[in-house]
Structure 1
Amino acid sequence: MNPPAESLLKYDHPVLIGKGRPLKVGPQQVRGQSTPVPPPPKSKPTSTDTTKQEILNAILPPREWTEGTELWMQQVSSAPPIITDVIHLKELLDTKLPPRQASQTGICSVRRELHSQCFDELIRQLTINCAESGLLLSRVRDESRMNIAAYQTLYESSAAFGMRKALQSEQGKVDMEKKITDLDNEKLELKKKLNELKCQHDANEKRDTERRQIEEKKLVEEIQVLKRSNLQLKVTFQGFIPQKYIFPLHLFLWWMWL
């Protein structure tokens, strides 16, 4: 495995800790020097330095990697920070953003990673000066990372939910279009049936009108025939009965009719 890449977090020189051991990658094993070199000789650490280093290792765990059969470890630096370290950190952050094509706005994983490294370096510097402040700031860092992870999970769930709803709406759209097509076809069939019923109604009405006219004509002709027959019978009847009996006979018939 290649050594970790360069990081904004300041580390000590890598140390060879063994051979043939399995690799253990800590949370901070993300950046490092390109080539491990033996550490320079150091003076015997005091109890205070040991305590600070333990706190730093708890907040920012050392990173390990293998080269062939050699296992190397690199701890965060416990060197006291100076004002130039902060200025150099800012310049280094501004220098690394453009080459990695970090977006200036919106969500950008590259920009977030570099700022996270910068924040870890600030925690390291503050922990060396005041361990309690470093521990509190690391707690704020962990809370922020937990919130970001929760937001990312929520976003992924929302995106999946939105995709499912989009697919459902697309399927619903297809079903609705099919239903509209079926209703249009049914509408055309009903219109066709309505036109047929109208034609049938018009034909029946025309046939009834013609039949009624024929029957009326027949009745008129029968009435005319009956009137002519009545007139002939009246003339014949008046020829057989004397004139003086006609008026009393009319009165009798009128009385019988009443």
Structure 2
Amino acid sequence: PQARSAKGTPSPPPRTPGAVSPSPKHPQELLNAILPPREWEEAQKLWVQEVSTAPSTRRDVVQLQEQLDRQLQQRQARETGLCPVRRELYTQCFDELIRQTTVSCAERGLLLLRVRDELQLTLAAYQALYESSVAFGVRKALQAEQGKALMEKRIAELEEERKELEKQVSEEKAKCEAIEQQETERREIEEKKHNEEVLFLKRTNQQLK
């Protein structure tokens, strides 16, 4: 069995946008094309909720704005940046404005529909670009972290090489100092021996005279 929902019926699921009919005959058909009716099953019945064709008043617009502000606050929508909650609420508000405009002027309603669809395409493109940029940033951060780890490893290796070279320099310096000490001692011994030989020869020469 099927039934059309009336005021007070169970809450319907979210509406899925559909294609706009080229030339609807009645305002309800135009609204159904712009904002497709919501359909759901409950108690083995198919419920259908169509968009209202009732014209809006100034009070309705004020209430719409108040409801939007209240929902933004209650659902804690972010004021800046990408926010799915804020986007959803503003989309619903825009749909209602399109409905109100279409009831009074179908042409303006269709124009607003084009604006809405273009905005959604633009937002989708920006969101894809944002997600791509975030993914790129994450990859770069990971690469930088890996590069940092490799650089730290290389620095540690160079530090070990520096210590080893300093050790070798110290050893070679000690060897040079030992060789210089040995050479100094050898020269002193040879000089002493030479002086003793000269002194001996002088004494021998004096004795021969």
Sequence identity of aligned pairs in percent? 57
Q: CA deviation digits over 1:157-185, x for unaligned, max 9? A: 22222222222222222222222222222
Q: CA deviation digits over 1:183-234, x for unaligned, max 9? A: 222211111111111111111000001111111222222223333444455x
Between structure 1 and structure 2, the one with the greater Rg is: 1
Paired amino acid for 2:120: R
Distance 1:176 1:154 in 2: 32
Of residues 67, 77, 89 in structure 2, which corresponds to 1:114?
89
Paired amino acid for 2:199: Q
C-alpha contact (below 8 Å) 2:41/2:47 kept by paired residues: yes
Q: SS of the residue aligned with 1:210? A: helix
C-alpha contact (below 8 Å) 2:40/2:47 kept by paired residues: yes
Q: What is residue 100 of structure 1 aligned with on the other side?
A: 75
Equivalent residues in 2 for 1:52-131 (5 A)? 52-131=27-106
Distance 1:58 1:49 in 2: 8
Of residues 112, 130, 154 in structure 2, which corresponds to 1:137?
112
Normalised by the size of structure 2, how large is the TM-score? 0.80
Distance 1:127 1:213 in 2: 118
Higher relative contact order (CA 8 A, sep 6+): 1
C-alpha contact (below 8 Å) 1:25/1:65 kept by paired residues: no
C-alpha displacement of 1:62: 2.1
Distance 2:65 2:160 in 1: 71
Q: SS of the residue aligned with 1:173? A: helix
Q: What is residue 16 of structure 2 aligned with on the other side?
A: 27
Higher helix share: 2
Normalised by the size of structure 1, how large is the TM-score? 0.67
Q: What is residue 244 of structure 1 aligned with on the other side?
A: none
Q: What is residue 9 of structure 2 aligned with on the other side?
A: none
C-alpha contact (below 8 Å) 1:64/1:71 kept by paired residues: yes
C-alpha contact (below 8 Å) 1:28/1:62 kept by paired residues: no
C-alpha displacement of 1:106: 4.4
C-alpha contact (below 8 Å) 2:24/2:30 kept by paired residues: no
Distance 2:36 2:58 in 1: 25
- Cα RMSD after superposing both structures: 2.7
C-alpha displacement of 1:26: 5.1
Unaligned runs of 5+ in 2: 7-12
Pick closer, same or farther for the CA change 1:139–1:70 going to 2, 3 Å.
Answer: same
Distance 2:115 2:24 in 1: 24
How many residues in Structure 1 have an aligned counterpart in Structure 2?
196
Paired amino acid for 2:35: L
Pick closer, same or farther for the CA change 1:49–1:200 going to 2, 3 Å.
Answer: closer
C-alpha displacement of 1:104: 4.0
C-alpha contact (below 8 Å) 1:56/1:76 kept by paired residues: yes
Unaligned runs of 5+ in 1: 1-12, 16-23, 30-47, 236-258
C-alpha contact (below 8 Å) 2:15/2:35 kept by paired residues: no
Distance 1:121 1:167 in 2: 45
Distance 2:32 2:82 in 1: 30
Matched, 1:14 2:5: yes
Distance 1:184 1:219 in 2: 52
